[in-house]
Amino acid sequence: MQAVWASAAMVTPKRLGYRLLSDFRAANMHVEKSYCAIPNPGASMAQLSAAKFYGRLDLLQRTKRVAETRAIAVDVWTTALIEAWTAAQDLAVRAGALSHPYPVRAMLMSDEQSGSLLTGVPRTQLDRGVPVEDMAHKPMGFASDTFTRPQQRWATVDKVDNEGYAIVSMFKRLEYLPWDDVQIFIDHRNFAYILTQRLACLP
């Protein structure tokens, strides 16, 4: 059956069932279709509407059954679970903005041009003057960088400036730590001299 403006209402099988189609103008001008025309469109539409309605009901029931299996039942909330949940809420409320991971340790920073290392050491070892390499270190943070070829040819003064930048970068990256007591170690003796001279020149 062909039509110039529109074809008759037809039902064609699809992946999820039958679907009502009513417009094959471009295709019907050139190709014969093997679809069957609906003899009584009114009755067919009523049947399709009913099938769609019941399909929705079935979908809602299936969704409800899945939701019931996913939901947390009331009897699951045991006394231990309620206490744990309350303790977690209290812990979140009382949590501080800053936290030191090792309160009994002092912070040491070892600075290099390509990065810095932050560790925690026992304060007793620091007070006794134990060599840094013999202290019991607990790593707290790392910062590293890669130099380009031009940077590797910098003068000594510029390299010292870069080591100072590495220290500042470590402070910024580990901003969650309280920086009230930290010992900084560096292998360039002129670093302190350059800083002292620059600070003396400041008004």
- CA distance between the termini of the chain: 97
Q: Write out the two tokens for 162.
A: 């870069």
* Predicted confidence (pLDDT) at residue 12 exceeds the cutoff of 60: no
Which is higher by pLDDT, 79 or 50? 79
Place of tokens 């990065």: 115
**pLDDT digits 0-9 by tens, 168-197:** 777 777 776 766 677 777 766 666 665 555
pLDDT by residue (tens digit) across 41-75?
555 556 555 555 555 555 545 444 444 445 556 66
Task: Say if CB 160 and CB 188 are below 8 A apart.
Answer: yes
Spatial separation of the C-alpha atoms in residues 201 and 38, rounded to whole Å = 97
Compute the average pLDDT of residues 126-136.
Answer: 85
Sequence spans of domains, the chain:
10-68, 105-201
Cβ(190)–Cβ(153) below 8 Å: no
pLDDT beyond 50 at 146: yes
Burial (Cβ within 10 Å: 0-12, 13-18, ≥19) of residue 164: middle
Query: CA-CA distance, 98 to 70, in Å (whole number)?
Result: 38
Grade residue 130 by pLDDT with cuts at 50, 70 and 90: confident
Highest mean pLDDT (candidates 79-93, 138-152, 162-176)? 79-93
Residue 131 has pLDDT above 80, yes or no: yes
* Better-predicted residue by pLDDT, 112 or 20: 112
199 pLDDT above the threshold of 80: no
Instruction: Please state, in angstroms and rounded to a whole number, the distance separating the CA atoms of residues 54 and 52.
Output: 6
The stretch 153-177 carries a mean pLDDT of 67
77-95 average pLDDT score = 76
Rounded distance, CA 24 to CA 14, Å? Answer: 16
Bridge-based pairing state of the strands 182-186 and 105-112: parallel
pLDDT of the residue at 30 = 45
The Cα 179–Cα 107 span in angstroms is 9
pLDDT above 80: residue 122: yes
Residue 170 is predicted with a pLDDT of 76
Beta-carbon-side half-sphere exposure of residue 14 (alpha carbons within 13 Å): 8
Distance CA 41, CA 47 (A): 10
